[in-house]
Structure formats: C-alpha cells, structure tokens
Structure 1
Amino acid sequence: MDDTEWLIAREVPGLRRYARALVRDRDRADDLVQECLERALRKQHLWRRIGSMRGWLLKILYNVHVNLIRHHRRTPETTPLEDVSVTQPARQFGHMQLQEMARALDDLPASQRETLLLVVLEGLSYEEAACVLDVPIGTVRSRMSRAREALQSLNLEETRPAAVRPVTLRRVK
C-alpha cells in the first residue's frame, strides 16, 4: 500500500459518516462510499498534494451523490412488494428526537443540508466546505445561516411529551 492509498484508507470512517447523513440508508451509503473509493483509487494521480485528502475525497463523494440523484430523477425507484414491511416506529423519546431532527434536516433544501452536514457533522471549515461543494465561501456562509435559522424556527421543544419536558419548580412561601 503506497502513501496515497494509506491516506485514502484513513478517511473511510468520515466518508461513511457523511454518506449516512446524506442518504440515511446504510446500504445506499455503503454503495456511495464504495463508488467514491473506487473513483479515488482510479484517479489518485489527479490529487494535488497541496489540498487535504479529506477534502478531495469528500468532494468526490458529494459529486457521486449528486450524480446518483440526477440518475434517480430520470429512472423512478420501485420497491418489490415482499420488501415492504408494516411495523410501528419505536416509542422511545430519544428515537423520537432523532426522527424529528432527521425530518427537520430533510425539510431543508438540499444545498443547505449538504453544507450543514459538512460543517457540523464533518467539522470542515467554511473554506474546506466551499472547496468540496465548489461554491464561493460567501455561499457557504449564507447556506449555513439560512439552515440554522430554519432549524431554530422549528422550535422542536413543543413536540416533547409532557412527561419529558423540563419541569420548572416554584418555591412555595
């Protein structure tokens, strides 16, 4: 294994994390990472050693994701009847919070969600995220600001069950 392959292998956990956040389906996320790694290994001669390997790989992953979205728009996805399950979601509050946050992220425009995930989940700087998304840094700042405003305006506190809401104690005189 040469130096470049070792640098690529080191970034696999971060790629998986970002892919899972983008598509929220383990199998599709694994396919996305696999395609990204195949392209990176095939085109490793194109990596300029001035930039970070992480940023280069995240850019490849993002581009693969965008290409797959374009492809799926052209060909509708069907689910075989035997793969459909009728189950109830878990009733634990933590699970409900995660579902609320996932729905809130899904409600964001794709550009804001992708930018937010790169900066918050992956810990990239605004400059690195701008490079991955191939947009000006001002666009990253704008998308982050709008995404934060949208998430804050949801006020997820209201959907908490009464038994879990924080209780305010009053002193009786």
Structure 2
Amino acid sequence: MTLQAPQSEPTDKTFVDELEAMIPQMRAFARSLCRNKDLADDIVQDACLKAWAARERFISGAPMRPWLFRIIRNLHTGHQRKAWRASSLAPEDAETTLTTPGAQEWTCDFQVMQDALRHLPEKQREALITVLAAGFSYEEAAGIIGCSEGTVKSRVSRGREALVALMTKTPGKPSESRIKLQAAPANPLEELLAIHLSGAIPPETELPARAA
C-alpha cells in the first residue's frame, strides 16, 4: 500500500513516511482483532485514509502507533456492530468464561497459540494483543480500547488464563516447532504474542503439522 503526499508539503511527506512505516504493525493488529485477512486489509486501508484526513489534528512528535491502533479498533468495532445487527446477535452473546487448571508443565508451538487466540472472547483477545503483544501500558491500552484501566487489567488477566487453558487442552505430541513453557507463562506468552503481532510469522503461515 503506497500513499501519495504533495511533495510541496514536507510536513505531509513526514506524516506519510511515518504512516507507511506503521502499516505492517497496523495490518497485524487488525488481523489479530478480526481474524479475517481481507477484512483486516480493508480496515487498515480505511484507517490510513482516516488518519490522512485527520493529519492536521495529529500532534507532531507524538507517538503515532496508539493513535493509529485506536482508529483501527474503532473501525473494527463499527464493523462488528453492523455484523451483529445483520445476524441479530448481541455482542455479549460472544462472551464466554474460561478457567485455567493449576500450575503444570505444558508445551505449545506458535500455531497452537494462534488457534487458541482465535477462540478467546473478543474483548480478552483485544486486551492481550494491545498490552502483551503491542506493548502498550494499561493506561495507553485503556485509551485505545475505550474503557477503564482496571477493566483492561481484568481482561488481560482473564485472557491470559483462558489462553493457557486452551493451549493446555490442545491434543497431540510435541513437534519440533514447539516451545516448552512452564506453569507461569507470562513472559513466554508475551514473546509468542509479540511474534504474532510483528508479522514475523504471518497468521496464514502453517507450521509443521503435529505428530498423530
């Protein structure tokens, strides 16, 4: 995706350069939220257009990533609302409660984490991606998501437990691609989620299949 800026406007050129540099992270964030490659790409394109239209309101020198992620999040929320209205489903119907078993050694690979992430409740997945993967503080994440800092902390905590539970239940023997993790999975989970968001291993990439 290439954006054209008037060459006579160095401020606009700088803005476009920064925006284009953020597109890979924007695309990964959008894909993590909506789990649909084509829809995510459409959302990123719309986000770029909205950001460009609002460039005069952007404070020069301020971090661009939280601002762009907030635009993506708002666009995704708007799409969800349209989908819910079309299917007559209430947003809260998608919420589920998951608990994690006690401390235990468990093994997973990147694909297992991605599969589990897709099955998390929307709000928990969003909080995990924003805080653990993107690295935003709870305060910054609250501004992006549009809720209180305490709510973000709660969703991250519950989301982490739910993700561990889902990954622990995954059947199959460990493959060469698996990463061994212990019962306190915060740091390994953050690493896996960060890889997921960075695009180093795209969502559509298939890792070696697990042994039967």
TM-score bracket for this pair, using the shorter chain length: 0.7 to 0.9
Q: Match for 1:64: what amino acid? A: L
Superposition CA RMSD, Å: 2.7
1:61-86 per-residue CA deviation (whole Å, 9 max, x = no partner) reads: 0000000111122235xxxxxxxxxx
Deviation at 1:45, TM superposition (A): 2.0
CA contact (8 A) 1:59 1:133 kept: yes
Q: Secondary structure at the match of 2:83?
A: helix
Q: Which has the higher helix share?
A: 1
Partner of 1:112: 124
Question: CA, structure 1 residues 8+71, in 2 after alignment: closer, same or farther (shift >3 Å)?
Answer: same
- Distance in 2, matches of 1:146 and 1:162, equals 26
TM-score of the aligned structures, taking structure 1 as reference length: 0.72
Q: Could you tell me which residue of structure 1 aligns to residue 148 of structure 2?
A: 136
Runs (5+) with no aligned partner, structure 2: 6-11, 88-107, 180-212
Tell me if 1:33 matches 2:13: no
SS of the aligned residue for 1:18 comes to: helix
After TM superposition, the structure 1 = structure 2 runs for residues 2-17 of structure 1, keeping only pairs within 5 Å, are 2=12, 3-17=14-28
Shift of 1:32: 1.0
- Structure showing greater Rg: 1
Deviating beyond 6 angstroms after TM superposition, the runs of 4 or more aligned structure 1 residues are: 162-166
* Corresponding letter in the other structure for 2:138: Y
The equivalent of 1:89 in structure 2 is none
**Cα distance in structure 2, aligned partners of 1:138 and 1:15:** 25
Residue 46, structure 1, aligned to residue 42, structure 2: no
In the alignment, does 2:137 pair up with 1:125? yes
Q: CA deviation at 1:23?
A: 2.0
Equivalent pairs counted in the alignment come to: 147
1:39-95 alpha-carbon deviations (Å, 9 max, x no partner): 11111222234742110000000000000111122235xxxxxxxxxxxxxxxxxxx
Q: Quick one: distance in 2 between partners of 1:141 and 1:73?
A: 26
Q: Secondary structure at the match of 1:161?
A: coil
Look up the equivalent residue of 2:15 and give its one-letter code.
T
Cα deviation, residue 30, structure 1:
0.7
| SS of equivalent to 2:173 | coil
User: Does the 8 A contact of 2:138 with 2:149 survive in 1?
Assistant: yes
